[in-house]
């Protein structure tokens, strides 16, 4: 049994063959480098680059998995949310392939892919759990009471946390994407008395634009030489404030919804400081922390194959080939209900 996964929601083209019985068989992830020159993702370029490589990458993963197209049992492609031009490439390619092969197709929610990505390497993840999704486009805290049953507890009121890392990196003169750079230069650095604020927001919500502005004011007061010398300390202080905000909201949500498990996923889940703090908090509070393996944190097609398979196998869901990509697509959230948890 083989699922072909396809992910093209932003600037990573990824195709994978994944099997529910034997796990990941093959995967390609191509991070588009062209955008670096522009300091951010250019949607038109992203779409064109997906077109250039998707067919070849699909041939390569099939070859490496040593299967013929006819042996694909299900095609799963990201339907949204994401950049419309970029999404259309993978989603349309997936539908066309499934149609030609006469195999079922399923359009996958990108965040559902991230949310269940720890299952790629651990089979012991099951609801109920709290999910913290942290990426370049999303910062969401949700309660997963049951499979595919979500309550949105909090979200960012302005920038996503990964976006804040990228913008602050730019202020510090670091290359795009800035998250990994800030992580790298902050390692082992004590920010000393340099502190940036953790804002107050309505419960469980996030805000990162004030933090970014605080860093900007700080940087603007420095000469180029002083910035050069202080860069690691500023990066570390920013990272500390950003990570502490994530932890603060997670701890608060867990007091109200004391689930035995917590999932943290998305590109920012790669952050070293966040992983340290999560591990300590999990140990101290008897909470099992599920983090995807590093290669499954950033956008990848393995998580899309797995999430598609989950809906297909647990719910019997498939998508019509007439379905369209959805650039803005909220997860199907239930009304926020601060009632009893866990249910009696
Ligand atoms: O999930 P992802 O690959 O793409 C989106 O769906 O957005 O996340 C990318 C984001 C970028 O903002 C990147 O700077 C951030 O994740 N990121 C990190 C780290 N690695 C990637 N942020 C902080 N620390 C990292 N080590
Ligand atoms: Zn993502």
8 A C-beta contact, residue 168 and residue 178: yes
Residue 336 has pLDDT above 80, yes or no: no
8 A C-beta contact, residue 276 and residue 245: no
Q: Best substitution site from 135, 140, 162 to test ligand 1's pocket, by max atoms within 8 Å of Cβ?
A: 162
Distance of CA 262 to the CA centre of its chain: 15
Q: Which atom of ligand 1 is nearest to the CA of 266?
A: 1
Render pLDDT for 75-126 as a digit per residue (tens, 0 to 9): 999 999 999 999 999 999 999 999 999 999 999 999 999 999 999 999 999 9
Q: What's residue 338's pLDDT?
A: 52
Residue 3 has pLDDT above 80, yes or no: yes
User: Would 340 be classed as within a structural domain?
Assistant: no
Residue 342 has pLDDT above 70, yes or no: no
Note the ligand closest to the C-alpha atom of 176.
1
- Domain check: are 201 and 271 in the same one? yes
**What is the distance in A from the centroid of ligand 2 to the CA of 306?**
15
Residue having the nearest C-alpha atom to atom 7 of ligand 1: 136
Its domain, for residue 210, covers 124-291
- Domain check: are 156 and 264 in the same one? yes
Render pLDDT for 15-49 as a digit per residue (tens, 0 to 9): 999 999 999 999 999 988 888 888 778 899 999 99
User: Would 92 be classed as within a structural domain?
Assistant: yes
- Domain check: are 141 and 190 in the same one? yes
Give yes or no for residue 40 CB within 6 A of ligand 1: no
Distance between CA atoms of residues 107 and 329, nearest Å: 12
Q: What's residue 33's pLDDT?
A: 85
Domain boundary pick from 291, 309, 324 = 291
8 A C-beta contact, residue 72 and residue 301: no
Give yes or no for residue 85 CB within 6 A of ligand 1: no
**What is the distance in A from the centroid of ligand 1 to the CA of 327?**
19
pTM: 0.93
- Domain check: are 281 and 134 in the same one? yes
- Domain check: are 159 and 276 in the same one? yes
Give yes or no for residue 180 CB within 6 A of ligand 1: yes
- Domain check: are 287 and 303 in the same one? no
Residues in the chain: 344
8 A C-beta contact, residue 136 and residue 10: yes
User: Would 339 be classed as within a structural domain?
Assistant: no
- Domain check: are 201 and 259 in the same one? yes
Distance between CA atoms of residues 77 and 97, nearest Å: 11
CATH for 93:
3.30.420.40
From residue 126, give the alpha-carbon distance in Å to each of 138, 139, 224, 310.
23, 22, 51, 12
Closest to 126 measured CA to CA, from 153, 148, 155: 148
- Domain check: are 147 and 248 in the same one? yes
Number of domains within the chain: 2
User: Would 344 be classed as within a structural domain?
Assistant: no
Note the ligand closest to the C-alpha atom of 265.
1
Strand pairing partners for 76?
5, 106
Distance between CA atoms of residues 316 and 59, nearest Å: 28
Residue ranges with strand state E in the chain: 2-7, 12-19, 23-31, 72-80, 105-109, 129-134, 139-146, 149-155, 261-265, 288-290, 333-334
- Domain check: are 311 and 271 in the same one? no
Note the ligand closest to the C-alpha atom of 179.
1
User: Would 222 be classed as within a structural domain?
Assistant: yes
- Predicted confidence band of residue 253 (pLDDT cuts 50, 70, 90): very high
- Domain check: are 113 and 145 in the same one? no
Residue 344 has pLDDT above 50, yes or no: no
- Predicted confidence band of residue 180 (pLDDT cuts 50, 70, 90): very high
Distance between CA atoms of residues 255 and 273, nearest Å: 22
Kind of pairing between the strands at 72-80 and 139-146: unpaired
């Amino acid at each position: 049994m083989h699922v072909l996964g396809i992910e093209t929601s932003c600037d990573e083209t990824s195709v994978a063959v994944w099997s529910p019985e034997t796990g990941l068989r093959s995967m390609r992830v191509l991070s588009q480098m062209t955008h670096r020159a522009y300091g951010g993702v250019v949607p038109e370029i992203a779409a064109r680059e997906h077109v250039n490589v998707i067919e070849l990458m699909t041939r390569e993963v099939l070859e490496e998995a040593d299967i013929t197209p006819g042996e694909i049992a299900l095609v799963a492609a990201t339907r949204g949310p994401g950049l419309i031009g970029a999404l259309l490439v993978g989603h349309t390619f997936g539908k066309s392939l499934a149609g030609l092969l006469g195999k079922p197709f399923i359009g996958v929610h990108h965040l559902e892919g991230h949310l269940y990505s720890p299952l790629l390497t651990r089979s012991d993840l099951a609801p109920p759990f709290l999910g913290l999704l942290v990426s370049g486009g999303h910062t969401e805290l949700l309660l997963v009471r049951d499979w595919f049953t979500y309550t949105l507890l909090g979200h960012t009121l302005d920038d996503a946390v990964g976006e804040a890392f990228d913008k602050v990196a730019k202020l510090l003169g670091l290359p795009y994407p800035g998250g990994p750079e800030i992580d790298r230069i902050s390692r082992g650095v004590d920010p000393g008395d340099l502190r940036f604020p953790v804002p107050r927001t309505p419960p469980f919500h996030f805000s990162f634009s004030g933090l970014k502005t605080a860093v900007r004011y700080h940087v603007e007061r420095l000469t180029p030489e002083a910035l050069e010398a202080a860069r690691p300390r500023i990066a570390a202080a920013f990272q500390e404030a950003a990570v502490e905000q994530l932890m603060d909201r997670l701890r608060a949500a867990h007091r109200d919804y004391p689930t035995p498990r917590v999932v943290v996923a998305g590109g920012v889940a790669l952050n070293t400081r966040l992983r340290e703090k999560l591990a300590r908090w999990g140990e101290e509070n008897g909470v099992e922390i599920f983090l995807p393996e590093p290669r499954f944190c950033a956008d990848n097609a393995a998580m899309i194959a797995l999430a598609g398979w989950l809906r297909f196998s647990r719910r019997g869901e498939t998508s019509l080939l007439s379905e369209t990509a959805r650039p803005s697509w909220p997860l199907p959230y239930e009304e926020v209900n601060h009632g009893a948890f866990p249910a009696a």
